[in-house]
Chain A
Amino acid sequence: MTDSQTGVGSAKKYSVSELLTNPNEVDLKTLLLLPAMAFMTALFLGGVIMFVSGVDFTNIAFSYRALLVGSVGSVFALSETLVAAAPLIIAGLSVAIGFRSGLFNIGAEGQILTGGMAALAVGFSFPELSIWVHLPLSLLAGAIVGAVWGGIAGWLRAVTGAHEVISTIMLNFIALRLVDFSLKTDFFQKTGRNDPISKSVLDSALLPDLLTWIDPQLRVNAGILIAFLVVFLIGWLLFRTTIGFEFRAVGANPDAARYAGIRIGWTFTATMAVAGALGGLTGGVQVLGVLERASPGFSSGIGFEAIAVALLGRAHPTGVLFAGLLFGALEAGGRQMQVDTNVGIDLITIIQSLVIVFVAAPILIKSLYPFAFREHAK
């Protein structure tokens, strides 16, 4: 690939959708440097916002130090970062794979909820199973139900042309209320409780903790390993299989893809089913690894943060992995910021949002830091 093909500084201009659908043709500079610059700019602006809201310089410095210490400064911090990152990575891939086919999956939230409930149901039933059967079975149940939930939106798009943004948002609401309802049924509700809280997952379906032999406070569980595995699998699916090629072809140019004999409708449904399976798996990982039971709205916005993760990771599995780790670090570090300096957790949300704004506006970042993106004549 020559530099002129990257479009930086040349006559060719990037559009965001182009970056999203063809990131495999974007060089490392754009994949890593741009988000890094966006992140630094967001941190700087976050500092400005803190200053304006009455935090003095020492405390701003302390806050960012706490952010660093709280995310990577100790084994405990790293463990918390990984716990927060695992669901973000898997759900981020769910959104990313949609982007690849030109679909905007806003429905990860609903897929997490329905998949999580399915994983939970299998997880608290069947007391006699061994962990080698019970845990995979629970995760599989989550992925399958998530796939169905996501597939509905893809199928509606394929058959009726209903836009997936609308249908996935609506499916989110339905899932949210379905969880509220289910948690009050005898099957799900914890015995002896009046409030909507579910039975607990049996030990044989819990994702094993990885580091509790060092310190029982370390919550990192096998969910992060599943996340790594899924990153690899989705990379393989997208770039090494025919299905993945079809996904990308439809995303790049549906008309050309149809002309080439790809069944667009089927691809939409399949993409959303895979995205839904990943969403459902996220729900399973949360319920079986972190929560161990379900309560109303247990997805707690992961499905929406996942959109940001997918955007930041430019819908590339490796990019999503790093974006998920970064967002996980922000979450864990944000907690430490609050402990050390009483700077509200809301500021972290502002910084995350600023990162996304800057990543979505590559031209802006490039014009802010022309030196970093300058082309070198060969």
Chain B
Amino acid sequence: MKYGMLYGALTALPLIFASATAQAQDFKACQVTDTGGIDDKGFNETAWKGAERAGEALGAEVKFLESQAETDYQPNIGSFIDEGCDVIVTVGFLLGDATATAAAANPDVDFTIVDFAYSPTIDNVIGQVFNTQEAAFLAGYLAAGMSETGTVGTFGGINIPPVTVFMDGFVWGVEWYNAARSASVQVLGWDPDSQEGLFTNNFESLDDGRTFAQNLFDENADIVMPVAGPVGLGAAALADELGTDQLKIIGVDADQFFTDPEKQHVYLTSVLKRMDATVFNAIELSQSGNFEGGVIVGTLANDGVGLAPFHDFDSAVPARLSGEIAALQNGIINGSIVPGQ
């Protein structure tokens, strides 16, 4: 407060500008990450990008706290309430309970959570959920078409809906390919019917990512989609060592070709989940005073989810395959194709 006034006094001459700045400086958007950390090159980092953009475009003051363990969720949120944050962004399904509790206790603070939708909705919480299966479906179709061994694989971090929805879509995409081309490409690591599959049970260990990718590779998979935040970077390291003719990786959340530049050549594509856009939206709504509790759903149609470009593999993907994927994308957008049905 004291610094805000000082700042105002220093810039007193262009009066309008000064008051605008002071007002903007007063608005605090604060983000609590999940255990993957702010620099996970995917999930948390993408959400943080949205907050950073809000900082630049809206002049909001943005802060973050990294959760190192699940025990940190509640105290981290508590610290931000104590800090006087106007809107608190919690990143991840696992923060669902902690966010709901904090929101109920602090009706004056706006909350928005990535990957959780409350039912019934809470007045001061916007849930951000994504139809990720739509984009993962396209990735599955692509993987099936690009696999030389006829086997592709996936594994997840923890068996929670926002993770398994990637794996559902991926498997459905492969099945769609098998039906369309009379092929018999196998998917390892996930069964959409029993909802059981391969999970590292954490979002931190790069070693686990490497081991799981190695296991899938040993079982003949030549394309693997890890859905486990930074854990997937371990899988990318393995693909880098083996060479992309042996193993390719499908990134998740962000376009990992850009977020993981050292290993960018191993990413066939990435399943994009644009948390940056939804986080930015929620912060903007809170700042402008139009915040209303509810749900934002990211879809292929509204660009909330998507398939990244193939980058280095552009020339390797046959025109027929990329054409079919474009057609599928249109089909999903206009509703004629519903993944999983």
Q: Which residue of A lies closest to B97 (CB)?
A: A293
Cβ proximity bits B161-193 to A, threshold 8 Å, 1 near / 0 not: 100100000000000000000000000000000
The residue among B69, B70, B71 with the most chain A CB atoms within 10 A of its own CB is: B71
Is there an interface contact between B201 and A219, defined as CB atoms closer than 8 Å?
Answer: no
Q: Chain B contact residues (Cβ within 8 angstroms of A): what range?
A: 20 to 34
- Distance of A339 Cα from B88 Cα, bound (Å): 13
- Distance of A216 Cα from B105 Cα, bound (Å): 7
Q: Chain A contact residues (Cβ within 8 angstroms of B): what range?
A: 20 to 34
Is there an interface contact between A217 and B78, defined as CB atoms closer than 8 Å?
Answer: yes
Is there an interface contact between B75 and A83, defined as CB atoms closer than 8 Å?
Answer: yes
B254 to chain A, nearest CB (A): 21
B281 within 8 A of A: no
The residue among B63, B80, B195, B201 with the most chain A CB atoms within 10 A of its own CB is: B201
Q: Which residues of A contact B159 (CB under 8 A)?
A: 194-196
A104 within 8 A of B: no
Cβ proximity bits B251-294 to A, threshold 8 Å, 1 near / 0 not: 00000000000000000000000000000000000000000000
The residue among A286, A298, A342, A345 with the most chain B CB atoms within 10 A of its own CB is: A345
Q: Which residues of B contact A217 (CB under 8 A)?
A: 78, 81-82, 105
Is there an interface contact between A335 and B65, defined as CB atoms closer than 8 Å?
Answer: yes
A-B contact count (CB 8 A): 68
A271 within 8 A of B: no
A228 within 8 A of B: no
Cβ proximity bits B1-44 to A, threshold 8 Å, 1 near / 0 not: 00000000000000000000000000000100000000000000
B131 within 8 A of A: no
The residue among B66, B79, B158 with the most chain A CB atoms within 10 A of its own CB is: B79
Cβ proximity bits A67-108 to B, threshold 8 Å, 1 near / 0 not: 000100010100010010000000000000000000000000
A265 within 8 A of B: no
Chain B residues numbered 76-113 whose CB sits less than 8 Å from any CB in chain A: 76, 78-83, 94, 105
Q: Which residue of A lies closest to B77 (CB)?
A: A217
Identify which of A194, A297, A345 contacts B202 (C-beta below 8 A): A297
Contacts A70-B79, A301-B69 supplied; 15 other A-B pairs, CB < 8 Å: A80-B75, A194-B160, A195-B159, A195-B160, A196-B158, A196-B201, A291-B70, A297-B70, A298-B70, A300-B70, A339-B63, A339-B79, A342-B63, A344-B66, A345-B66
Query: Can you name 26 A-B residue pairings with CB atoms under 8 Å?
Result: A80-B75, A83-B75, A180-B201, A194-B159, A194-B161, A194-B164, A194-B195, A195-B158, A195-B159, A196-B201, A216-B105, A217-B78, A219-B75, A296-B158, A297-B69, A300-B68, A300-B70, A300-B71, A301-B69, A332-B75, A335-B65, A335-B76, A335-B79, A339-B65, A342-B63, A344-B66
Instruction: Give chain B's interface residues, CB within 8 Å of chain A.
Output: 30, 63-66, 68-71, 74-76, 78-83, 94, 105, 158-161, 164, 195, 201-202
